[in-house]
Structure 1
Amino acid sequence: MNKSLMDALRRYMRNESSTREADEVEKWMLLNLTSSKADAIFEQLFAELPVEEDDLRKERTRERLNRFIDASLDSQRLARRRMWQRGFRVLRYAAVVALGVLCLHLYHRLGETSTWHEVYASYGETERVVLPDSSIIWLHADSRLLYPERFGTRTRQIYVSGEIYADIARDPRHPFVVASNGSTVRVLGTEFNLRSYGDNDQIEVTLVEGSVALHVPTVKGTKSCRLTPGDVVRVDRGTGTLEQYRIDPSDYVSWKDQRALYFINRPFGEIVEELQRSFDVTISVQDRSLLETNYLATFVNGETLDEILTALNGDGSMEITREGDQYVIRAAAHE
């Protein structure tokens, strides 16, 4: 998790957030409520709070947390919700209490605001969603979308974790805002691809048509830029670096239409994560030295995973073995 969002969570818990920041934190919680990666975050946050010894208060917190889950997740997600058990010790289940503290006033607000819908695309799957303004969002594998039943009177805002392709209905009076892990993409009407997974500091935007403004908080301050069609911008929130590339937008093929993978100066470690999401397989890289190698490659002709790995191993630097859906990659032995 990037430092800026962690700091925002701390301010929220101390009731020091602005209204806008509190809203961002609350939507992040909804997107990550059932994610296992959030457990460690809440453990750390709870460790910074005074220890709670009141068993009755802990019980009330658990009850409110379950009501929050019931109110905020749809039936599909409810089937997989956490079942909070009685009789836990404070430190062992610190994340439950911390999450409850974070969720209390959001729970009360849910009944006062527009209903929010959550859509999740599992590994190896994509989802298509039509928004209230007729904009269309395609979700890539392991991605979440949170959107309201109706948009507000000033802006149209959604919350995303993962990768989406967006075709936004033009409405100059109501700018469209995509918020993702503390970053924002602001548009009027356009087509673009956004990749912003919560477990990765990299955020990448590819603009196919129209114009967007990108704002990304980093350790070195907010990075902002305006994109024109064909721009690919990648920002590392952990280091503050910004890279910009160009593609021919007329040649761009979206994964929403067919399997399409673009690896523009991306390290093999990130490529492996993308391949696991897209093909719903497990890839184990045994030699860490392989993870840092950068690749420039495009696959838009329906290549299989075996064909992609073979192409990436054009120099023979890797030894790739497969057993069913399990792939193991090692550095090739030197003769």
Structure 2
Amino acid sequence: MEQDQFITLLNKYLQGQLSVEENRQFHELLHSDSKNQVLFDFLRIKPSHKEQVDNSEQVFQSILNKIESSETTTLPMSSHDEDHANEYTQFPLIKKPWYQNYRSIAAVLLPIFLILSLWIYNSQTQTRFTEQYSSKKGEKKIINLSDGTTVWLNGDSKLFLEHSFGKAERRVKLEGEGFFTVAHDRSHPFIVEFRNSEVKVLGTRFNIRAYPDEDKTETSLVEGSIELKADRQVKSLMLKPGDKIALLPAKAVAAIQTEAKSKIQVQHSTLTIAEGEQAPSETLWMYNKLSFNADPMSLIVSKLSKWYNVSIQIENPALEQITFSGNLEGYSLDQILLLLKQANPEIQIKRQNESIILQ
């Protein structure tokens, strides 16, 4: 139980989230068990190379050896005994190795490695991507990169540039939605990371929607060609102009037949331009237009929240089955909520403090 508590507190310590009381408990547990001290000393050494993460067997054995050696300690003498030191002989205190039972190894070291992997990944991400651009909710931003590439960021989005951007490759990371017009440079491919996937291009125009709070990610190619390396998929997906690929967690589309080992679902579709519009619906946000294409209520709420910088919550699960389509320009939030209610009279709208509740 104390081991579990220490691991929980250690995770919060590495993220700088300990309260005063938790900090006291953490240091008590740290000094009460030599295994905890060894683990703490090991984790606070920041890795400098990716190879340290990849070679997990060496990391495992290193921790195991350190903890094993810490199990053999010397019995200390109390202050009372110091006057009679010649009457005592110090003997090593030999304990039964704690790792003798393989189940104990799994129970203790599994959470340790989860923490270690998360901490190292976060440290490397912060080191690799040193330049950041961001847009607030309700804001759109145009970014001109040093290589001539232009990126439009939709509301509540972030773009990170790798510190070595432009040397061997041009690698960026996207959280949110962005439209890219990539400058052609065959010797320096442009790579966009998002969630657990990435897109590789030479020169093209495409849109990616990959918000952390939405299950689905969408990649839409307007011009050129791109190679999409989907989440844990061995085979890359090649897109041609007009292609759209949506990636969804398997749990979100359980009704669709897929390979047993697949962690995601890949949905192919094509971009269409509605009558009277000048661009596909996936890119209309760049023209200050809200676009819905048979979107479920959860996605509608997400889009509205980011567009108008307001908190919108769905309390009635039945509303999740409702979909809505339409391209809207110049509408206020109240007008759009009224449209949704007119199209679906069962929707009840309630305002609570600064939030909007759909019941």
Partner of 1:11: none
Give, as a single letter, the amino acid of the residue that structure 1 aligns with 2:225. S
Per-residue deviation at 1:196?
1.1
Corresponding residue for 1:30? none
Question: Who is 2:226 aligned against?
Answer: 212
Compare CA radii of gyration and give the structure with the larger one.
2
Amino acid in the other structure paired with 2:333: L
Change (3 A) 1:57 1:315: closer
- Provide Cα deviations, 1:164-206, integer angstroms capped at 9, x if missing partner: 1112112233221111112122222222210012343311122
Deviations 1:40-59 (A, max 9, x none): xxxxxxxxxxx994347537
- Mapping of 1:163-312 within 5 angstroms? 163-217=177-231, 224-229=237-242, 231-238=243-250, 239-248=264-273, 250-252=278-280, 254=283, 257-299=286-328, 301-312=329-340
- State the one-letter code of the partner of 1:178: V
Distance 2:356 2:198 in 1: 36
Residue equivalent to 1:136? 150
Q: What 5-or-longer segments of structure 2 have no aligned partner?
A: 1-14, 17-32, 48-107, 251-263
CA pair 164-129 structure 1, distance change in 2 beyond 3 A: same
CA distance in 2, matches of 1:267, 1:276: 14
Q: Could you tell me which residue of structure 2 aligns to residue 15 of structure 1? A: none
* Secondary structure of the structure 2 residue equivalent to 1:125: coil
Question: What TM-score does the superposition give when structure 1 sets the normalisation length?
Answer: 0.62
Q: Deviations over 1:92-138 (max 9, x none)?
A: x989964775159849x95xx7x721223232233332222021222
Q: Does 1:318 align with 2:347?
A: yes
Runs (5+) with no aligned partner, structure 1:
1-32, 35-50, 66-89, 331-335
Q: Larger RCO: Structure 1 or Structure 2 (Cα < 8 Å, ≥ 6 residues apart)?
A: 1
C-alpha contact 2:132 2:160 (8 A) present in aligned 1: yes
1:58 aligned residue = 40
Change (3 A) 1:210 1:321: same
Aligned partners of 2:225 and 2:238 also within 8 Å? no
Residues paired across the two proteins, number: 251
RMSD: 3.8
Residue type of the alignment partner of 1:156: R
Distance (Å, rounded) in 2 between the aligned partners of 1:104 and 1:58? 17
